Chains A and B, each alone.
Chain A
Amino acid sequence: MLQSKAVVPLLLRALLVGAAVLGLFGTAHAQGRIGVTQSIQNNPVGKPPGGVDRVLRVGTDVQANEIISTAADDRAHLVFLDGTTLTIGPSSSMTIDKFVYDPATQKGELAVNATKGVFRIIGGRISKTSTIAVTTPAATMGIRGGIAVFGVQASATTSILVFGNSLTVTANGVTQTITVPGLSVTTPTGGTPGAPTIAVQGNLAAALGALAGNATAAAATVDAIQTLVASNLGNAVTLQALIQAIIVANTATPITTTTTSTNLAVIVVPENPNQTQASPN
């Protein structure tokens, strides 16, 4: 009898603890997935909050506050629930500081903290209404509706606007804003962002090459991909017509419309707003 009296509270306690643990797991699972690993090379590693290191494989869920790191031959391509994609190049390390997304309103917040390496962000729904924040040892960047590539070294961070409305770079009270694709800003660690300059084509190509890597798939996989892309592109005749149409469309609304607002392209905002000035590119 004594035994049963003692067992009941123990069982009750065990049940309560079990329920709490299950509840916690349930919450973690429900709130945990913010995206998924879409593509990898070799063995990129993710460390979810409170978890242990795990090799990211295609299909591995990614969580908020997860630390992602790559060795010299690793790469990872993540897709978030809002459609944002993040490609992490070799020898890189970063934390997904914040991801909040409401599919109903298609609004949210995304913040990333990168300590080293090369990576690319292609904005999804969130970036259409909010600025994606990227922090590095040298600067804080904000991307609005676009594509940007970053190179993060201990000595400096280089930010390139590949496409989009704006990329701001802020450090030590100074902000540089790029609104023309192809421009870059370099910020020495501990210093202030330099004036935007046209990204050297070789540097951009090298960054894109580093992000793509050097993987070689089996011949059958390559054939399958080429066939699928060919199907998307259409045959030579339709492709020719498509390209003619694209050229006409872009000629009708040339980028020079944006570039001619050259004075709008580069804004230097010093700490003292009275010193605000425009810099030509």
Chain B
Amino acid sequence: MKKLGTFLLLATVLVGCQSPDPVQKASPELQREYNAAFQKMLNDPGNLDVVMAYAQVATKTGDYEGAVGAYESVLLVDSNLPRVKLELGILYYRLKSYDTSRIYLEGALASPALPAEVRKPAELLLAKMPKQSKSQRT
């Protein structure tokens, strides 16, 4: 039991040490584009064009956390933006954070302002959501 516990602890530590940074894995050109977009956002954080541009290049780079941070900041400007919630639902799905993805997708679909043409893809994603913890929902 002790050996098992030690092994599991070690395994957890090893798993925890694996934090691949998609930005560092990106091509030099994409890294430059990413860094430029990030610096621009730091210097002009209230400019929505700049924030969205960063979110786009972060997504392209695979830095979904960076993109999530950018979109989450926009929800403070207006908390009822179904397209932003849809984008967050997609990003959290990509991160395999399914419970959070479901919350945002359901929020997007609940809004009558979500355009009809993107409802179908959103519903598809929601339907394909793995039932990771669905049985625990209240």
> Is the interface on chain B under 10, 10 to 19, 20 to 34, or 35 or more residues?
35 or more
* B133 engages A182 (CB within 8 Å): yes
Of the listed residues B24, B59, B72, B98, the one surrounded by the most CB atoms of chain A closer than 10 A to its CB is: B72
Q: Let me know if A75 is at the binding interface, CB within 8 A.
A: yes
Q: Let me know if B94 is at the binding interface, CB within 8 A.
A: yes
Find chain A residues with CB under 8 A from B121 CB: 236, 239-240, 242-243
Give the Cβ gap from B118 to chain A, nearest Cβ, in Å: 6
Q: Residue of A at shortest CB range from B79?
A: A212
Question: Given contacts A213-B79, A233-B86, is CB(A147)–CB(B133) below 8 Å?
Answer: no
Give the Cβ gap from B47 to chain A, nearest Cβ, in Å: 9
* B118 engages A236 (CB within 8 Å): yes
| A81 touches which of B18, B42, B115 (Cβ 8 Å) | B42
Find chain B residues with CB under 8 A from A179 CB: 12, 15-16
Q: Residue of B at shortest CB range from A203?
A: B138
| A208 touches which of B38, B55, B103, B117 (Cβ 8 Å) | B103
* A255 engages B96 (CB within 8 Å): yes
Question: Given contacts A163-B95, A255-B132, A274-B2, is CB(A226)–CB(B12) below 8 Å?
Answer: no
Q: Let me know if A276 is at the binding interface, CB within 8 A.
A: yes
Q: How far is the CA of A24 from the CA of B132 in the complex (A)?
A: 54
* A181 engages B9 (CB within 8 Å): no
* B98 engages A255 (CB within 8 Å): yes
Question: Given contacts A122-B69, A247-B125, is CB(A182)–CB(B97) below 8 Å?
Answer: yes
1/0 contact string of A182-195 vs chain B (CB within 8 Å) = 10000000000000
1/0 contact string of A165-205 vs chain B (CB within 8 Å) = 11000000000010101100000000000000011111011
Find chain B residues with CB under 8 A from A225 CB: 48, 52, 74, 77-78, 81, 83-84
* B19 engages A144 (CB within 8 Å): yes
Q: Let me know if B27 is at the binding interface, CB within 8 A.
A: no
* Residues of A in contact, count (CB < 8 Å): 88
* A204 engages B15 (CB within 8 Å): no
* B76 engages A181 (CB within 8 Å): no
1/0 contact string of A204-233 vs chain B (CB within 8 Å) = 110011011111110001101110111111
Q: Let me know if A145 is at the binding interface, CB within 8 A.
A: yes
Q: How far is the CA of A106 from the CA of B34 in the complex (A)?
A: 14
Give the Cβ gap from B99 to chain A, nearest Cβ, in Å: 4
Find chain B residues with CB under 8 A from A214 CB: 79
* A129 engages B97 (CB within 8 Å): no
* B78 engages A246 (CB within 8 Å): no
Task: Give A contacts to B, CB under 8 Å.
Answer: 36-41, 58-59, 75, 77, 79, 81, 83, 85, 87, 106, 120, 122-125, 127-129, 144-147, 162-163, 165-166, 177, 179, 181-182, 198-202, 204-205, 208-209, 211-217, 221-222, 224-226, 228-233, 235-236, 239-240, 242-244, 246-247, 249-250, 254-256, 258-259, 261, 263-264, 267, 269, 274, 276-278
Task: Give B contacts to A, CB under 8 Å.
Answer: 1-2, 4-6, 8-9, 11-12, 15-21, 23-24, 38, 41-42, 44-46, 48-49, 51-52, 55-56, 59, 63, 65-66, 68-69, 71-81, 83-84, 86-87, 90, 92-100, 102-104, 113, 115, 117-118, 120-121, 124-125, 128, 130, 132-133, 136-138
Ordered by A's residue number, 24 sampled pairs between the chains whose C-beta atoms are within 8 Å are A58-B46, A79-B41, A83-B69, A123-B65, A147-B95, A163-B97, A165-B18, A179-B15, A181-B97, A200-B136, A202-B138, A204-B100, A212-B76, A215-B78, A222-B78, A225-B81, A229-B81, A231-B52, A232-B52, A243-B121, A247-B125, A254-B96, A274-B2, A276-B5
Instruction: Give me 10 other A-B pairs in contact (C-beta within 8 A), A222-B81, A229-B52, A232-B59 excluded.
Output: A79-B41, A162-B92, A165-B16, A166-B15, A181-B100, A209-B79, A215-B78, A236-B121, A240-B124, A276-B6
